[in-house]
């Protein structure tokens, strides 16, 4: 039973990581730094809440979340691909922009500086299952399994792996991320592939944000709370390979679940569990065991 | 260049007058070398045009945001200026905010001059403030300021510098991207500090340490009643001194020259006998120390205790400050005043439009400067080549 509780909670936590990290893999594999994941997720969460609220349907929320992340990603692509601006600086600026814009429009749309009103989301299954079973773990699991974003999240990783390794676009994308000069000489348009990669990352991260807002039935200020950076950590710890990245996401989510489960027990202070993804990432970069090597053209303007 | 040299070209783009892969045309010497004064002018234009363009763009975005809220832009901007430079209290608050931003701006600038990104000012600032508060708490009550203040200062610099040294060393030793390491360290260090405060040092019911018995630096309000109530304090003088010292270090010392050489062309610097790895470590350590000193503004100058999250956001804004100040110590001070005015101005206009508007404007300024720097450089150099005559 404890295992079931653990699994249900891990599944709930891992979905946004999977979505955002899959986006991060797409962006970094075409050579564009994915420091923006946090901002993309936050934008997606906000637009999803707005869409779901005004349309009264979480499905519209999903579409809006995707569009919100996509719009921010296109702005990012415009700055770093078209204008060849510095990816790190623009990435940080975009995170600040997402934070500012969501706060501003939160005041404008809902006249609040902290959260939106309750919006339609997924999780109606919880009450349904609650009728059938009084077990909270089963109820939570059923709620997750009736949430389409959970399925999208779980299927995203194999989809991205297939796209990268089994399609012509994936081959071009990897070439652009490793050696853009070679790709150019073969007639591949580097800017176009990069814009597509970044756009895809925005759509996926936006869905990750939408999951957060629709799962909690509201948008709260800064609700991503560093999840975009944990997703980035998973991308690096998973060495830019979709399968390993997914495993990293599951690992980080499991650690978080463990911390929540142990909260009462005071075994390890929660702050130390919070550090795990970040510490592992630094260790991976330093290469104590086997160094994580990023795509060769990552961060290069062209 | 190692394969792990992740962000090298992005980095190159951050510096004016920087050779790199970003624009291959520039590496060829222009036909008919233009006369020195003209080149000087191009350099000035390259530095000043992007920030000015960015401000213009921010003004337009600001207008749009204000209009969506149904207010008149003129009235809002007037209120913003009146609430900041228009009265002594507002101006004092601007000076207070500019003090922290000067330190974090200088911190980003020195690393950027060495070709590195320090995104870790957020946690380095907190570590510096924490260390200063610890020293202030440990010293017996009534320790003379002449002894206590320097001790706090050194503690802040060492704590910030230590946090900065880690990514420097990892970069020099393993080629680990300092961008990622500093971001990850932000989370790690802040979580560790929160743990220490939450379990050992906090005053019950709060998130801050007890007040320190010694080491406080006077507020301006102590000298002039005009500043009454505002947080502006003498740490501002330290910030100005740090800016002067950094200018001296960068442009008048051999170590500073080496640092800039590494930032412009690490391979060439190495060939010229500079030990690139140790310059990286030194630059990030100094960068962390400068950010750490920024913690003094709140801890020594204002509240006299360390509080969880006391400077959230100042580290990231330091990036904006350095970018607009073109990584020049003097420019950083001016840019810090600009961003402090925006921050404080947000509070002043909150009655008309949400103060969150300035968060958007600050981000727009960074975005616009970062985007226009390569464009302006290309345009100006093309124009200069044309003026220089046909080959």
Domains in chain A with CATH codes? 2-286 (1.10.3470)
* Mean pLDDT confidence for A63-75: 95
Residue-level pLDDT at A50: 93
Measured between alpha carbons, how far is A45 from A217 in angstroms, rounded to an integer? 11
The pLDDT score that the predictor gives to residue B204 is 80
Q: Report whether pLDDT(B12) > 50.
A: no
What are the beta bridge partners of residue B219?
Answer: B233
Question: Could you give the CA distance from residue B52 to residue B43 in angstroms, rounded to a whole number?
Answer: 15
Query: For residues B326 and B383, which has the higher predicted lDDT (pLDDT)?
Result: B326
Neighbours of A155 (CB within 10 A): 12
Tell me the C-alpha to C-alpha distance, in Å, between residue B298 and each of B99, B233, B309, B345: 10, 9, 11, 20
pLDDT bracket for residue A39 (50, 70, 90): very high
Which pLDDT tens digit goes with each residue over A98-132? 999 999 999 888 888 788 888 887 765 444 444 44
Q: Where does the pLDDT of residue A5 fall: very low under 50, low under 70, confident under 90, or very high at 90 and above?
A: confident
**A188/chain B closest Cα distance in angstroms:** 19
Q: What is the pLDDT of residue B191?
A: 92
Q: Enumerate the domain spans of chain B.
A: 99-326
**What number of residues does chain A have?**
302
CA distance A180 to B22: 13
The chain B residue lying nearest A236, using CA atoms, is B180
Residues of chain A found within 8 Å of residue B366, distances taken between Cβ atoms: 89-90, 92-93, 96
Non-local CB neighbours of A278 within 8 Å, separated by 6+ positions = A229, A233, B184, B185, B187, B188
Q: What is the pLDDT of residue B9?
A: 40
What pLDDT does residue B162 have? 96
Question: Maximum Cα–Cα distance for chain A, whole Å?
Answer: 63
Radius of gyration of chain A (CA): 19
Interface-testing mutation among B8, B188, B314, B376, with chain A (most A C-beta atoms within 10 A)? B188
Phi-psi label, residue B61: left if phi above 0, alpha if psi -120 to 50, beta otherwise = alpha
**Contacts (Cβ under 8 Å, ≥6 apart) of B382:** none
ipTM over 0.90: no
Round to whole Å and give the CA distance between A257 and B166. 30
Please judge whether A33 and B7 are an interchain contact, meaning their C-beta atoms are less than 8 angstroms apart.
Answer: yes
- pLDDT tens digits for range A275-295: 888 998 888 888 765 666 788
The overall average pLDDT reported for chain B is 84
Contact B22 A99 (CB under 8 A): no
**Contact call for B176 and A286, based on CB within 8 A:** yes
**Minimum Cα–Cα distance from B70: chain A residue:** A108
User: Count H helices, E strands: chain B?
Assistant: 14, 0
Structure tokens at A279: 């510490």
Say what the pLDDT of residue B4 is.
42
Does B25 score more than 50 pLDDT?
no
Rounded CA gap, A195 and A215, in Å? 30
Query: Shortest CB distance from B14 goes to which of A89, A279, A285?
Result: A89
The DSSP annotation for A141-184 comes to HHHHHT-HHHHHHHHHHHHHHHHHHHSHHHHHHHHHHH-HHHHH
């Amino acid at each position: 039973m404890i295992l079931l509780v653990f699994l249900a909670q891990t599944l709930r936590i891992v979905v946004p990581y999977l979505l955002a990290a899959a986006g991060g893999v797409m962006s970094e594999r075409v050579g564009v730094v994915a420091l923006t994941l946090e901002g993309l997720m936050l934008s997606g969460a906000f637009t999803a809440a707005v869409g779901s609220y005004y349309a009264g349907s979480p499905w519209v929320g999903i579409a809006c979340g995707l569009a919100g992340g996509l719009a921010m990603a296109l702005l990012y692509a415009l700055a770093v691909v078209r204008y060849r601006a510095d990816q790190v600086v623009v990435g940080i600026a975009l995170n600040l922009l997402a934070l500012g814009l969501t706060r501003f429009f939160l005041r404008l749309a809902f006249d609040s500086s902290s959260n939106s009103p309750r919006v339609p989301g997924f999780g109606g299954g919880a009450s349904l299952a609650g009728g059938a079973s009084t077990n909270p773990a089963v109820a939570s699991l059923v709620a997750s399994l009736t949430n389409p974003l959970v399925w999208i999240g779980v299927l995203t990783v194999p989809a991205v792996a297939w796209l990268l390794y089994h399609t012509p676009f994936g081959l071009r994308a990897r070439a652009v991320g490793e050696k853009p000069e070679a790709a150019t000489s073969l007639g591949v348009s580097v800017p176009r592939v990069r814009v597509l990669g970044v756009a895809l990352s925005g759509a996926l991260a936006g869905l990750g944000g939408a999951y957060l807002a629709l799962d909690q039935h509201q948008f709260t200020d800064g609700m991503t709370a560093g999840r975009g950076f944990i997703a980035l950590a998973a991308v690096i710890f998973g060495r830019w390979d979709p399968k390993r990245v997914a495993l990293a996401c599951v690992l980080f989510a499991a650690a978080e679940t463990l911390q929540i489960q142990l909260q009462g027990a005071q075994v390890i202070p929660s702050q130390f569990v919070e550090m795990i993804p970040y510490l592992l990432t630094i260790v991976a970069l330093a290469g104590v065991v086997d160094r994580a090597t990023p795509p060769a053209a990552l961060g290069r303007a062209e | 260049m190692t394969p792990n040299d992740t962000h090298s070209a992005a980095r190159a783009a951050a510096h004016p007058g920087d050779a790199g892969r970003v624009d291959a045309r520039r590496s060829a010497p222009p036909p008919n070398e233009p006369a020195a004064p003209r080149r000087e002018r191009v350099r000035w234009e390259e530095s000043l045009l992007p920030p000015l363009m960015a401000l213009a763009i921010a003004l337009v975005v600001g207008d749009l945001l204000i209009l969506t809220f149904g207010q008149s832009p003129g009235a809002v901007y007037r209120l913003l200026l009146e609430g900041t430079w228009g009265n002594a209290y507002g101006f004092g608050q601007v000076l207070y905010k500019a003090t922290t931003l000067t330190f974090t701006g200088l911190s980003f600038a020195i690393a950027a001059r060495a070709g590195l990104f320090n995104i870790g000012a957020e946690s380095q600032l907190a570590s510096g403030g924490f260390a200063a508060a610890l020293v202030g708490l440990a010293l017996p009550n009534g320790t003379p300021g002449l002894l206590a203040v320097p001790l706090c200062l050194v503690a802040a610099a060492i704590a910030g510098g230590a946090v900065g040294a880690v990514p420097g060393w990892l970069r020099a030793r393993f080629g680990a991207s300092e961008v990622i390491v500093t971001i990850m360290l932000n989370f790690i260090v802040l979580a560790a500090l929160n743990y220490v405060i939450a379990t050992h040092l906090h005053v019950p019911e709060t998130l801050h340490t007890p007040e320190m018995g010694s080491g406080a630096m006077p507020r301006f309000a102590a000298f002039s009643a005009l500043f009454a109530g505002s947080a502006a304090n003498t740490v501002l003088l330290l910030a100005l001194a740090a800016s002067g010292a950094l200018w001296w270090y960068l442009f008048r010392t051999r170590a500073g020259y080496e640092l800039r050489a590494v930032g412009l062309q690490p391979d060439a610097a190495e060939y010229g006998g500079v030990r690139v790895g140790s310059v990286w470590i030194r630059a990030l350590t100094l960068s962390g120390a400068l950010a750490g000193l920024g913690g003094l503004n709140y801890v020594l100058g204002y509240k006299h205790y360390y509080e969880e999250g006391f400077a959230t956001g100042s580290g990231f804004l330091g990036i904006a400050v350095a970018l607009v100040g073109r990584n020049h110590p003097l420019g950083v001070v001016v840019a810090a005043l600009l961003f402090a005015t925006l921050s404080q101005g947000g509070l002043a206009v909150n009655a008309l439009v949400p103060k969150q508007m300035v968060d958007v404007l600050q981000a727009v300024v960074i975005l616009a400067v970062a985007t226009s720097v390569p464009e302006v450089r290309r345009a100006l150099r093309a124009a200069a080549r044309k003026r220089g005559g046909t080959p």
